[in-house]
């Protein structure tokens, strides 16, 4: 598998490729199914499998406000790599690229540079200048140039069988705090990443529960509240409880993500990057009348989180 960030890294044209193109935010179950079909088709024609994605999000490159991303560039590439395609092209999306006429994109890029023999995309795929390219154009040009166009059905939620899996659906679940529903669509728990920074020295000294304070790397923030989490750090994987929001009891109006790691965790992880898998929402943030009342509630949160996490088999 090879990651290409600049098309000029390809010193010679590729041959016999099966391609899918998209933003693939979240790399959810629908995207994963698409990648599997690309690999299956490539194997069938003894070709190579290619996933093309973009950074930044096309809307932002065009000066528009796009949605908060479920996965930033680094995580998106990591997740696509798990599909084991032959090539990932993560190309810089610019206004100049957006102005490419659809037929030019097909013939000069997909065919001439990448050797496309088949393209597999969703039913709503649009591309090229002013998004003028569509499935109908792809099929018409495919008949002329000798490449096939495959349009799989949408992948639906396995529980209902009717609700389409989409990045928008997942984004809304996270923002609503319904994180325990996310794996049905994402195929994993929603994860935030960040660097552990110095906090305000109140977790251990005032509350008796030391916390790792995180400078958030991700854009999509779960609804404010308290969550049962699993923490991945340089020391391993640990259970934890996270508070996301403004800690109203302290009334300092500063946004924080504070994670209390369980399992008698005592390692120094300052200045390291950690990953926090958000398993289940425990409660809203609440302003308590005093520190002891808050500390007592945190003890209850920890007990509830342990019960939830002990039954989690992810």
Flag whether pLDDT at 285 surpasses 90. yes
- 116 and 245 inside one domain: no
- 122 and 214 inside one domain: no
- 268 and 216 inside one domain: yes
Mean pLDDT of 140-146: 97
Worst-scoring range by mean pLDDT, 11-15, 149-153, 294-298, 308-312? 308-312
Q: Which of 118, 150, 182 is the last residue before a domain boundary?
A: 150
- 25 and 90 inside one domain: yes
Q: Which of 125, 107, 127, 123 is nearest to 115 (CA)?
A: 107
> Is 170 inside any structural domain?
no
- The answer to whether 57 and 25 are in contact (CB under 8 A) is yes
Higher pLDDT pick, 133 / 287: 133
- 122 and 10 inside one domain: yes
pLDDT digits (tens, 9 = 90+) for 55-92: 988 888 888 888 899 999 999 999 999 999 999 999 99
Flag whether pLDDT at 160 surpasses 70. no
Mean pLDDT of 167-182: 96
Flag whether pLDDT at 10 surpasses 80. yes
Q: Which of 124, 150, 176 is the last residue before a domain boundary?
A: 150
| Average pLDDT over all residues of the chain | 91
Residue 10 dihedral angles phi and psi, to the nearest 5°: -80, 105
Cα angle 258, 263, 266; round to 5: 70
Flag whether pLDDT at 208 surpasses 70. no
pLDDT of the residue at 107: 97
Worst-scoring range by mean pLDDT, 28-37, 78-87, 156-165? 156-165
- 68 and 132 inside one domain: yes
> Is 15 inside any structural domain?
yes
pLDDT of the residue at 202: 55
pLDDT of the residue at 162: 60
Flag whether pLDDT at 306 surpasses 70. yes
Higher pLDDT pick, 252 / 220: 220
- 108 and 208 inside one domain: no
- 20 and 95 inside one domain: yes
Mean pLDDT of 116-143: 96
Domain count within the chain: 2
pLDDT of the residue at 31: 97
Flag whether pLDDT at 108 surpasses 70. yes
Mean pLDDT of 284-304: 92
Side-chain-side CA neighbours of 205 within 13 Å: the count stands at 4
> Is 171 inside any structural domain?
no
Q: What is the 3-state secondary structure (H, E, C) of the chain?
A: CEEECCHHHCCCCCCCEEEEECCCCCCCHHHHHHHHHHHHHHHHCCCEEEEEEEECCHHHHCCCCCCCCCCCHHHHHHHHHCCCCCEEEEEECCHHHHCCCHHHHHHHHHHCCCCEEEEECCCCCCECHHHCECHHHHHHHHHHHCCEEECCCCCECCCCCCCECCHHHHHHHHHCCCHHHCHHHHCCCEEEEEEEECCCCCHHHHHCCCCEEEEECCCCCCCCEEEEEEEEECCEEEEEEEEEECCCCCCCCCCEEEEEECCCCCCCCCCCEEEEEEEEEEECCCCCCCHHHHHHHHHHHHHHHHHHHHCCCC
**Tokens coding 231:** 């923490």
Q: What is the CATH number of the domain that holds 132?
A: 3.40.50.620
> Is 205 inside any structural domain?
yes
> Is 162 inside any structural domain?
no
Instruction: Compute the distance between CA of residue 203 and CA of residue 88 in angstroms, rounded to an integer.
Output: 43
pLDDT of the residue at 204: 45
List, in order, residues 6 or more apart from 82 with CB less than 8 Å away. Answer: none
Q: Which of 12, 14, 33, 15 is nearest to 24 (CA)?
A: 33
Mean pLDDT of 6-20: 93
- 73 and 130 inside one domain: yes
- 138 and 31 inside one domain: yes
Taking CA atoms, 209 is separated from 252, 268, 269, 294, in Å, by 19, 15, 16, 11
Model confidence band, residue 205 (pLDDT cutoffs 50, 70, 90): very low
Beta bridge partners of 49: 18
Q: Residues of the chain with pLDDT > 90: what percent?
A: 74
Q: Which of 129, 150, 171 is the last residue before a domain boundary?
A: 150
Maximum alpha-carbon separation in the chain:
74
**Domain limits for position 297:** 190-310
Q: Residues of the chain with pLDDT > 70: what percent?
A: 95
- 113 and 47 inside one domain: yes
Q: What is the CATH number of the domain that holds 271?
A: 2.40.30.30
- 208 and 121 inside one domain: no
pLDDT of the residue at 210: 82
Beta bridge partners of 120: 150
Residue 19 dihedral angles phi and psi, to the nearest 5°: -125, 145
> Is 39 inside any structural domain?
yes
Q: Which range, 80-89, 151-160, 244-253, has the best average confidence (pLDDT)?
A: 80-89
pLDDT of the residue at 232: 96
> Is 179 inside any structural domain?
no
Mean pLDDT of 41-51: 98
């Amino acid at each position: 598998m090879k990651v290409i960030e600049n098309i000029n890294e390809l010193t010679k044209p590729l041959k016999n490729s099966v391609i899918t193109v998209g933003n693939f935010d979240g790399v959810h179950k629908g995207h994963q199914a698409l990648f599997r079909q690309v690999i299956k088709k490539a194997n069938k024609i003894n070709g190579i499998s290619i996933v093309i994605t973009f950074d930044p999000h096309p809307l932002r490159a065009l000066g528009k406000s796009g949605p908060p991303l479920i996965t930033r560039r680094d995580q998106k590439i990591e997740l696509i790599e798990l599909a084991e395609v032959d090539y990932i092209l993560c190309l810089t999306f610019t206004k100049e690229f957006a102005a490419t006429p659809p037929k030019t994109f097909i013939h000069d890029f997909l065919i001439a540079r990448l050797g496309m023999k088949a393209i597999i995309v969703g039913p709503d795929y649009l591309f090229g200048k002013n998004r003028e390219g569509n499935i109908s154009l792809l099929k018409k040009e495919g008949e002329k140039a000798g490449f096939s166009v495959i349009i799989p059905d949408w992948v639906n939620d396995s529980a209902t069988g009717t609700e389409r899996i989409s990045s928008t659906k997942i984004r809304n679940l996270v923002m609503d705090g319904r994180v325990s529903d996310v794996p049905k669509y994402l195929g994993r728990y929603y994860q935030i990443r960040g660097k552990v920074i110095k906090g305000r020295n109140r977790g251990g000294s005032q509350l008796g529960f030391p916390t790792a304070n995180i400078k958030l790397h991700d854009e999509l923030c779960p609804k404010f509240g308290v969550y049962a989490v699993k923490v991945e750090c340089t020391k391993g994987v640990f259970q934890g409880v996270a508070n996301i929001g403004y800690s109203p009891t302290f009334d300092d109006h500063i946004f924080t993500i504070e994670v209390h790691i369980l399992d008698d965790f005592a390692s120094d992880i300052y200045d390291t990057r950690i990953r926090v898998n958000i398993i289940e929402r425990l409660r809203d943030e609440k302003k308590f009348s005093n520190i002891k009342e808050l500390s007592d509630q945190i003890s209850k949160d920890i007990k509830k989180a342990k019960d939830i996490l002990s039954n989690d088999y992810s």
